[in-house]
Structure 1
Amino acid sequence: MAQYFEIHADNPQPRLLKQAATLLASGGILAVPTDSSYALVCRLDDRDAVDRMRRVRQINDKHHLTLLCRDLSELASYAHVDNRQYRLLKLATPGPYTFILDATKEVPRRVSHPQRKTIGLRLPDHKVMQLLLELHGAPLLATTLIPAGETEPLNDPQDIRERYEKQLDAIIDAGACPLAPTTVLDLTPMSTGGEVLVVREGRGSLQALGL
């Protein structure tokens, strides 16, 4: 049965989020708020948790998962970033963008793209998520919480509780999220002199990045 944490969106309670971080450290799967929608998260280096998260979401190992990071220095540990890419990342983060970059050897093969060896990374602009990442002390692997057979992510923590409380270890209720997908930008062409590839236009403004 999932633990249920009611967290203040603008002034999150560290005591409660420390309990949530402890659950993550012990292999838990959590439903968490982000700056785009609710997501499922687990430890990057816990194969059992990753497999269980995929089963909860009913997605296979071909589905691209995203790494949530605290800051750009952490992101650079998991992705190859050149100067051009770094300038764009600095301009866009934190924010509702997902960046596709070439993965470093720090990323387990099972969570990078099987052919391209790329990884999707995010620095979410959500105080609860930022504090949870800080308390956890490492990136978290994430997937948008979209129920199987549906197209829209869940946005009501009580609805998430009713549907998933027997499958998750905790649910963090910080109120409704914006309920808009991230803008997905493939930055890999930039490493060979190319331009950013817009994979999906979402909540993150392209104009703000000069794209």
Structure 2
Amino acid sequence: MAKIIEIHPQNPQNRLVRQVIDELHKGAVIAYPTDSGYALGAALGNKNGLERIRKIRHLSKHHDFTLMMRDLSHIGEYAKLDNNAFRLLKKILPGAYTFILEGVRDVPKRLLHDKKKTIGLRISHHGVVQALLNELNEPLMSVSLILEGYEFYDIDDVREAVEKHVDVIIDDGYCPPEPTTVIDLSDGSIEIIRQGAGDTSLIV
């Protein structure tokens, strides 16, 4: 059964954030709130966690995971970014966007799209996400919590669906699902793959 840890969304308590980080370092899979609904996450090197998340979500090996990052300072370690793309990201992040970028050679193959060698990156403005990543000092492997037959608006919905399958569930109250806007920058152009919560008027 998952541990339930209640963390304040605007003023995350350091002691509780560190509890979650300790669990991630031990190999935990967590369900956590973001600015686009709940997500499943594991530490970057946690291969077993990756497979567990695939099973929970019934994902194929071709499904892209997203790297949830604290800020833009380490983005070059994971993705290729020209000046125009970097300026765009700097202008609109943090926010409810997922960017598809070409991965760099050192990124583990399990995180890259099989054929395109791309990777999804997010920088969320959600207080709990920022607190976790500040303490973790590396990105989280992440996918949205989407399961057929379930809608995830608060902790009760999440518990009902995944309490037996994850190690930690973070409760920060009401967290309605609203998908990110997905923008593909992998070939040097700007292509909006999905219109979601992120404002695309900022992109031009």
TM-score relative to the length of structure 1: 0.93
Distance in 2 (alpha carbons) for counterparts of 1:95 and 1:5: 24
Please tell me whether the aligned partners of residues 102 and 117 of structure 1 are also in contact (alpha carbons under 8 angstroms).
yes
RMSD of aligned Cα (Å): 1.2
Residue 142 of structure 2 aligns with an amino acid whose one-letter code is A
CA distance in 2, matches of 1:171, 1:107: 28
Query: Contact (CA 8 Å) 2:151, 2:157: kept in 1 or not?
Result: no
Structure 2 equivalent of residue 196 of structure 1:
190
Partner residue, 2:153: 155
For structure 2, list consecutive stretches of 5 or more residues without a partner in the other structure: none
Deviation at 1:170, TM superposition (A): 0.3
Moved more, 13-22 or 106-115: 106-115
2:25 is equivalent to residue 25 of structure 1: yes
- Give the secondary-structure state (helix, strand or coil) at the position aligned to 2:50: helix
Question: TM-score normalised to the size of structure 2?
Answer: 0.96
What residue number does 2:93 align with?
A: 93
Aligned length: 204
C-alpha displacement of 1:60: 1.6
Q: Matched residues in 2 for 1:107 and 1:140: separation?
A: 13
Percent same amino acid at aligned positions? 43
Deviating beyond 6 angstroms after TM superposition, the runs of 4 or more aligned structure 1 residues are none
| Separation in structure 2 between the aligned mates of residue 24 and residue 105 of structure 1, nearest angstrom | 25
Letter in 2 for 1:173: D
In structure 2, relative to structure 1, the CA distance for the partners of 1:75 and 1:178 (3 Å cut) is farther
Residue 137 (structure 1) shift:
1.2
Does structure 1 retain, via aligned residues, the 8 Å contact 2:67–2:120? yes
- Verify: 1:125 aligned to 2:125, yes or no: yes
Within 2, Cα distance between the matches of 1:111 and 1:80? 15
Per the alignment, residue 143 of structure 1 pairs with 143
Q: Give unpaired runs (5+ residues) of structure 1.
A: none
Partner deviation per Cα, 1:95-115 (whole Å, 9 max, x = no partner): 000000010123211120000
1:111 aligns with 111
AA aligned opposite 1:170: V
**For residues 191 and 20 of structure 2, what CA distance do their matches in structure 1 show?**
36
